[in-house]
Amino acid sequence: MTSIAEKFVEVSTQKSFDLSHRGIINHNIGKYDSAVERGLSRLINLEHAKKKSHLIKWKVMENLDKILPEFEANFQKRGGKVLWANTIEEAQKEILNIITKANAKSVIKSKSMVTEEIHLNEFLESHQISSLESDLGEYIVQLLGQKPYHIVTPAMHLSKENIADLFHEKFGTPKDATPEQLTMKARELLRDKYLSADVGISGANFLIADTGSIAITENEGNARLTTTFPKIHIAIVGIEKLVPSIADLDLFWPMLSTHGTGQNLTVYNTILSGPKQAGETDGPEEMYVILLDNGRTDLLAQKEQRQGLYCIRCGACLNGCPIYKNIGGHAYDTTYSGPIGSIITPHLSGMKEFKHLSYASSLCGKCTEVCPVKIDIHKMLLFNRRDAVNEQLTTKTERWGWFFWKKGMLKRSYMDKFGGKFKNTILRKFFSKTWGEKRVLPEVAQKSFSSEWKENHPS
């Protein structure tokens, strides 16, 4: 049976040499890079803003046990209900209980990475409950039967021609339909679903402790419709999404939008503080917030790596990563791809199965450079590698290989004893496969530097 790591190597090798795929993602990321550069230039003191956002998230993580109950109490004051889920299964069970109790049959869903994390669409489908994505990118990948490709842009791997072909096949639209025409077709298809859906499900970009609210950031307006029209609204949010005060959005909203899409502010920014109140005309009759752990407290316990929980899911590190630009999002086979996914997934889903992601990096540091909350991502990758070794999750061959390498490197006479011919034979025999069939192994010089020096500088 192929392991997750072996599958990653296989798929990433294939994608690396798929020039069409690389062309599409590099074109799309290039457009984002240009927009983000313009957006960041409008911030007066970017470094100060990053340091401040880092400090706020540090404060939250150090006091999570106090701030979470504060959010819960304030949200419940306005009639909202808070449910706690330690695992994916618990979150699925809570959602199913709410839907079953309401005798609901259909769900409309706005973009949410946490719902992807708990495999919500597949779970609901297995219980004969239809779940429809309302975000255009999510809707497109749902039609294709795929997972989101990117944290911010789910359909980044598709060209406009790919999407036009998909809509032609599914809905009979012209093959040469423009992006505007395709968007209008999607809007036409989705509008009725908002009115007929029994339950609306969303995520949240931020949980606001002092007001007991959730904040949702979007560009399409679909989240507002999803959270407003159905009688029941369920928000599923990771416990790390907290900010202490509503005043903190003054910092986090612009940082999220500029680093994610280059906008000063996204088009729709919504704050929801519970179900519809007396005298209000809009909003659901019931509102639930499900607080998901699913390994987050395990990561919180790692003092050196808990920075991974500071992430605000802007996607900047994915767009900056040379590995992501070559292999794309689907190669990772995880909910959270790219550099941030590589540091948190081993803790959320298991170091044994996902340690390989921390090695899928050039350690160039671009991810750390672009992070709006100053997560030291490339250092976290090294910490994960260290933990994998300390937990003896490496292969016996790898351990023996490093043992002999260390022996040789610590004693010059060992290095000089074996000539270049022997060393090159060892490289070809044991490392040619891991080096990759598309790369040529380096040739070790026949004589070491110290041997050359002694020959040319006799004492």
Domains of the chain: 43-294 (3.40.50.10420), 414-456 (no CATH)
**What mean pLDDT do residues 58-79 have?**
97
- pLDDT band at residue 1 using 50, 70 and 90 as cut-offs: low
162: its two tokens: 């790919």
Of the candidates 45, 35, 58, 57, the residue with the CA atom closest to the CA atom of residue 259: 35
Cα dist from 401 to 139, 164, 304, 397, whole Å: 48, 51, 28, 6
Encoded amino acid at 403, one letter:
F
- Least confident range of 25-39, 323-337, 405-419: 405-419
Is residue 139 within 8 Å of 166, Cβ to Cβ?
no
In this predicted structure, what is the pLDDT of residue 300?
96
Residue 70 pLDDT greater than 80, yes or no: yes
Is residue 345 within 8 Å of 357, Cβ to Cβ?
yes
- pLDDT band at residue 117 using 50, 70 and 90 as cut-offs: very high
pLDDT digits (tens, 9 = 90+) for 150-208: 999 999 999 999 999 999 999 999 999 999 999 999 999 998 899 899 999 999 999 99
Residue 80 pLDDT greater than 80, yes or no: yes
Supply the mean pLDDT for the chain: 93
More confident site: 450 or 135: 135
In this predicted structure, what is the pLDDT of residue 331?
96
Residue 252 pLDDT greater than 80, yes or no: yes
In this predicted structure, what is the pLDDT of residue 2?
74
Distance, CA of 257 to CA of 387 (rounded, Å): 34
In terms of Cβ atoms closer than 10 Å to its own Cβ (0-12, 13-18, 19+), residue 241 is: buried
Q: What is the DSSP letter of 276?
A: P
In this predicted structure, what is the pLDDT of residue 413?
80
Whole-model pTM? 0.92
**Residues constituting the chain:** 459
pLDDT digits (tens, 9 = 90+) for 376-396: 999 999 999 999 999 999 888
Which residues have C-beta within 8 Å of that of residue 372, sequence separation ≥ 6? 49, 50, 53, 255, 256, 258, 259, 312, 314, 316
More confident site: 30 or 407: 30
In this predicted structure, what is the pLDDT of residue 336?
97
Percentage of the chain beyond pLDDT 70 is 100
Residue 147 pLDDT greater than 80, yes or no: yes
In this predicted structure, what is the pLDDT of residue 14?
92
Percentage of the chain beyond pLDDT 90 is 81
Of the candidates 166, 206, 160, the residue with the CA atom closest to the CA atom of residue 179: 160
Is residue 229 within 8 Å of 194, Cβ to Cβ?
yes
pLDDT digits (tens, 9 = 90+) for 94-113: 999 999 999 999 999 999 99
3-state helix, strand, coil in the chain (%, to 5): 60, 10, 30
Residue 232 bridge partners (DSSP):
199, 286
- Least confident range of 138-147, 208-217, 360-369, 397-406: 397-406
pLDDT digits (tens, 9 = 90+) for 267-283: 999 999 999 998 888 89
